[in-house]
Chains A and B, each alone.
Chain A
Amino acid sequence: MAAVSLRDVRKSYTPELQVIHGVNMEIKDGEFIVILGPSGCGKSTLLRMVAGLETITAGEIAIGDRVVNNLEPKDRDIAMVFQNYALYPHMSVYDNMAYGLRIRKLSDADIETRVQKAAAILELGKFLQRRPRELSGGQRQRVAMGRAIVREPQVFLFDEPLSNLDAKLRVQMRGELQSLHRRLGTTSLFVTHDQVEAMTLAQRMIVMNAGRAEQIGAPLEVYAKPATTFVASFIGSPPMNLIPKDGKLLGVRPEHLEACSASEAMLTIDVDLIEPLGADIIVYGHIGDKDSARVAARLAADAKAQAGKLALRYAPQNVHWFDPASGKRIDS
């Protein structure tokens, strides 16, 4: 296990086309870090730079106290789990897990012990002699993780490993990943575009946008104090409402809005969409004409939602202010 440092890491394919604009982060030993962002924000590129599958244009990446910029992936002591699992289709589950160890010239007995141990952790014991195509998606995912575990690396790298699974399995695998990390305590970097995965798995997360780290912090901290309008509107579902007011942007989360009488109204919306979710109801509407800001409010399940004017209020402590030009948070 080891700490990982990213020091002003940059990546450009051509001088004009820069995809990572200097990311700085110190990842502590044993930490579970999630890199979150929309597609094309450079999050996978960043992970692949740590893995050694992409070259580093500028800056430094260190694993433990070694700068790994010029090391081959195999010499970085990392293991990676790919989005499409990348299992060797012609090898049995056992051989898939053992392949990296055989190349490292471990003894057969050692390999056997390690594979059996990983198989036990991941409940793959019954499937060791099967081929990947005879397994379900969740089982393949576990084999991919097993291939990473047997190596006993310093760092696990996960590149959207759950996005090929169906919704139910994703929730289950999320739980298994958490307990796996508790058990092994290996430093992990996990790339995803799914904010729920990020919120539930991360000890700390990096929210990325267009090649920049917009915010680094613990999930609840990022949720409670988004550093930029991008983070505010990327995290939370529906995202934070951003309403222009007094030359600034007022941010308030849908769950912090409540219906009230017209006299107490802090804002009034013209409701045009109602989504009853069972546990609560989400209403959407513009605050003025069609071009004005659109606001979503999460109301209690028993609220009487109907199209037309709806008066809403919020508590002052739940308000965020942003600078409309830079998008940065204004702390009062």
Chain B
Amino acid sequence: MVENRPWVTFFSHAILILGVLAVAFPLYVTFVASTLSLKEVMQMPMPLWPGSHLVENYSQALTGGTITGSRASVSHMLFNSLVMALVIPLGKMAISIISAFAIVYFRFPGRMFFFWMIFITLMLPVEVRIIPTLQVITDLKMNNTYAGLTIPLIASATATFLFRQFFMTIPDELAEAARVDGASPMRFFWDVLLPLSKTTLAALFVIQFIYGWNQYLWPLLVATDESMYTTVIGIKRMIVGGDSTNEWNLIMATAILAMLPPALVVMLMQKWFVKGLVETEK
């Protein structure tokens, strides 16, 4: 739309700026709090300019956690979160691309039945099946292990469905041409399907990385040992009770640390991510 109405421009910009402030201000306050000493944070009102304790707070959080609350070091939590945020998307991608390949390119008995089975699980969020899943994991003695943290979250109807839809848009002739060229099904998968799925894989990775990183309920149940805390759980465990006993400066530093990796992944992979969502290389 090409329009030259100054008031409309002014008005729309004002709304956008308000929106940015609403999102950015809490983040800014979090950052400021993470640079103050505990005493400064507790002042009423809290100062709105960064203080001088940035290095001190972050190194305390990274190495020793909080002093009054959980003493698990945030650096180890970050590592746990990273394991979760990498294993979940990679596992999901590996399993779902192969199952979608089977469903789209092979005719086997019960093909549609299995597809609908997978599809129906889309309707069941993790929270609904969390008690039975926890029971299974406990019986298998997988509490407080990386396997227990990640495996139940790997099986994914969403990703299978996404790949199925993508494969259906690839013309059948491509598979036939590969067959005439002498490529076996797996060769076709490696040489043609996988390279064509690159952008879809990238988009899925970004989404699932954030999904894995932000998991809260599941690690809360499975990771009861301090050494298995993820960052998100760590923040929760640092908050011990009444307002006065919480070291908000350290908690805020941890919060900032927890926010950085997903933000970095989105920024670094943005080009691929957008490509995967809007276009396919065909």
Encode A70-85 as 1/0 by CB contact (under 8 A) with B: 0011100011101110
Chain B: minimal CB distance from A181 (Å): 19
Q: Is B236 an interface residue (CB 8 A)?
A: no
B281 within 8 A of A: yes
A331 to B87: give the CA distance in the assembly, Å. Answer: 78
Query: Does residue B210 face the partner (Cβ distance < 8 Å to A)?
Result: no
Complex-state Cα separation, A82 to B175, whole angstroms: 12
Chain A residues in 8 Å Cβ range of B181: 74, 99-100, 103, 147
Q: Check B281–A90 contact: CB distance below 8 A.
A: yes
Query: Using Cβ atoms and an 8 Å threshold, which residues of chain A touch B281?
Result: 89-90, 133
Stretch among B25-33, B55-63, B190-198 lining the A interface: B190-198
The answer to whether A84 touches B179 (Cβ under 8 A) is: no
Chain B, residue nearest A74 (CB): B182
Chain B residues, CB < 8 A from A74:
179-182
**In the complex, B187 has a CB within 8 A of chain A:** yes
Quick check: A90 and B180 within 8 Å, CB to CB? no
Chain A: how many interface residues by the 8 Å CB criterion? 23
Query: Per-residue CB proximity of A53-93 to B under 8 Å, as 1/0?
Result: 10000000000000000001110001110111011111000
Q: Say whether A51 faces chain B, with CB atoms less than 8 Å apart.
A: yes
Q: Is the CB of B195 within 8 A of A79?
A: no
Residue B112 is within 8 A (CB to CB) of chain A in the complex = no
Let me know if A88 and B192 touch, CB within 8 A.
yes
Given A90-B281, A99-B191; A104-B182 close (CB under 8 Å): yes
With CB as the reference atom, state the residue of chain A lying closest to B172. A86
Chain B interface mostly:
helix
Closest to B280 in A: A89
Closest to B187 in A: A103
Q: Tell me the chain B residues, 241-282 only, with Cβ under 8 Å from chain A.
A: 281-282
Query: Are A100 and B182 in contact (CB-based, < 8 A)?
Result: yes
Per the bound structure, the CA–CA distance linking A82 and B180 in Å amounts to 11
Q: Is the CB of A53 within 8 A of B176?
A: yes
Contact of A82 among B177, B182, B192 (CB under 8 A): B177
Pairs A-B, 5 closest by C-beta atoms: A74-B182, A100-B181, A86-B173, A86-B177, A90-B195
29 A-B pairs with CB atoms under 8 Å apart are A51-B180, A53-B176, A53-B180, A72-B179, A73-B176, A73-B182, A74-B179, A74-B180, A74-B181, A74-B182, A79-B180, A80-B176, A80-B177, A82-B173, A82-B177, A84-B171, A86-B171, A86-B173, A86-B174, A88-B174, A88-B192, A90-B281, A99-B178, A99-B183, A99-B191, A103-B182, A103-B187, A104-B182, A147-B177
Please list the residues of chain A having a beta carbon within 8 angstroms of any beta carbon in chain B.
51-53, 72-74, 78-80, 82-84, 86-90, 99-100, 103-104, 133, 147
Contacts A74-B180, A89-B281 supplied; 17 other A-B pairs, CB < 8 Å:
A53-B179, A73-B179, A80-B180, A84-B171, A86-B171, A86-B174, A86-B176, A88-B192, A89-B196, A89-B282, A90-B195, A99-B178, A99-B181, A103-B182, A103-B183, A103-B187, A104-B182
